[in-house]
A and B are shown apart, each in its own frame.
Chain A
């Protein structure tokens, strides 16, 4: 797609960020974060509150006062003078924690069409994309096209926000706390949708969360942040083996992992990297047969 397709889609090198730097109210949010994400990866960025997750996400689309040589998109320094930020924002889709903040129009159809229109797509193409993304999020186009954004429920607003980002066909999709503020049913539905998306599209997916419970179903790599630093980075199972360290950081673990941690009192050699209850069951049965 791009000439430099070997380069990671996004890379942070020694990224550090202080809000209100140089004022008495300076707040050091990110101290030292380096990682790179390759095209097509599905990465979860997890960490407790105040760990710098949201700042890291904001840096992807250059929404901060970034310094040079810290954030690279497809190999290019996004803070370099003359870098085309609008083009960057057309390639990085971010769904923020609170969906209301990113809805720019009053009517659902117009809001989803905002991005494609701004990117200069034709009316026909725009309409197609709006229809396609609304439908894929379970908001039928004919029914929701003219609904008022502010009259929708929280879960529906979040879907509209996601549709608005999907309609941009960005190669990188970032979801910041996608499950926050949704009821269990809304969470389940959204998760199913995201799983479909993750399989369906040639997409790089980044999910930010304080919980590995839902992120573990979407992602295969985990970057753990704490106090603005990367404390773990690796494949999901490898990171889960350190379940106790994760629990210490107040990260919500998948049910099966929590179960395994409890059952270790009985079976000290039980592994913790069990993603589903079935795996847990199999491991338990193995041990019960032996005894």
Chain B
């Protein structure tokens, strides 16, 4: 229970200084987008095998320890498995009689069900893995700037790109802060005699409910402070903001993007 952060990788940035970290964020975002599209096109186990291989390669070259990523994803994977179980048991599609392996009332296990759940599971894992890698290797500043630049043409159509990106980034940034907060509260309440580090999963979850009110109060307080801080520094969004650091994509960045595109097409056709 204590040291919750140990189990949450989502939204964290871990700087190892690898070449993946130093890539132009726009290229990284574009590559991520290509892979997101690919994840909906790919429809075979072999294809997902190939696609996942690429993400594993990215992870290895980013020098972020696999153990850290896996442990941080354990909760998510468990949850996914639980959902997939239902997908198999209540598979709604047409199933020829011969492919039923087991049946009991409306519950059944069929090869079609297993296949569809397997593909769905791989798709979600691929999506999760690739977005996690993007966040682990890209600092929030880079992410914001990259997103703003990519979407800046929309600004001319009257879309408040800068503001939207800001909201998105603040939302992500609040995830680790909230986890910190929950941890601090849990620790203080444990000291008062609410044993957060004891009992089964269900009792623990119920105790977490106690933290909701103080978490919300401090969340609103924090948001309020942030907006005051931004006002006092004369923040204003929009396209009149200039950047101190200009981004430049090197040829190697483009080469990597090309590699990702080719790889994804291969996975799609596989």
Contact = CB atoms under 8 A, between A and B. Distances in A.
A102 B185 CA distance: 7
B22 interface: no
Nearest to B195: A86
A104 B194 contact: yes
B2 A102 contact: no
Contacts of B65: 23-24
Contacts of B67: 22
A165 B193 CA distance: 10
A65 interface: yes
A106 B192 contact: no
Interface string A5-32: 0000000000000011011110000000
B192 A114 contact: yes
A189 interface: no
Given A86-B193, A89-B191, A96-B188, A25 B14 contact: yes
Given A63-B191, A85-B195, A115-B192, A20 B2 contact: no
A100 B67 CA distance: 36
Contact of A24 (B68, B195, B210, B213): B68
B190 to A, nearest CB: 6
Interface in B190-215: 190-195, 197-198, 210, 213-214
B6 interface: yes
Given A63-B2, A150-B217, A25 B12 contact: yes
Contacts of A85: 195, 197-198
Interface in B1-39: 2-3, 5-6, 12, 14, 16
A164 B214 CA distance: 17
Interface string B122-161: 0000000000000000000000000000000000000000
Interface residues of A, number: 33
Contacts of B64: 24
A118 B187 CA distance: 17
A61 B14 contact: no
Interface string A151-184: 0000000000000110010000000000000000
A164 B192 contact: yes
Nearest to A150: B217
A237 interface: no
B269 interface: no
B184 interface: yes
A221 B6 CA distance: 37
B240 to A, nearest CB: 36
A163 B214 CA distance: 19
A231 interface: no
Nearest to A94: B191
A140 B55 CA distance: 63
B61 interface: no
A2 interface: no
A102 B191 contact: yes
A29 B66 CA distance: 25
Contacts of B213: 106
Interface of B: 2-3, 5-6, 12, 14, 16, 64-65, 67-68, 184-185, 187-195, 197-198, 210, 213-214, 217-218
Given A24-B14, A89-B193, 13 more contacts: A19-B3, A58-B187, A61-B191, A63-B2, A63-B191, A64-B2, A89-B191, A94-B188, A100-B217, A101-B185, A104-B192, A115-B193, A164-B192
16 contacts: A22-B67, A24-B68, A25-B5, A25-B14, A85-B197, A85-B198, A86-B193, A90-B193, A96-B188, A101-B185, A101-B188, A102-B189, A103-B214, A104-B210, A106-B213, A164-B192
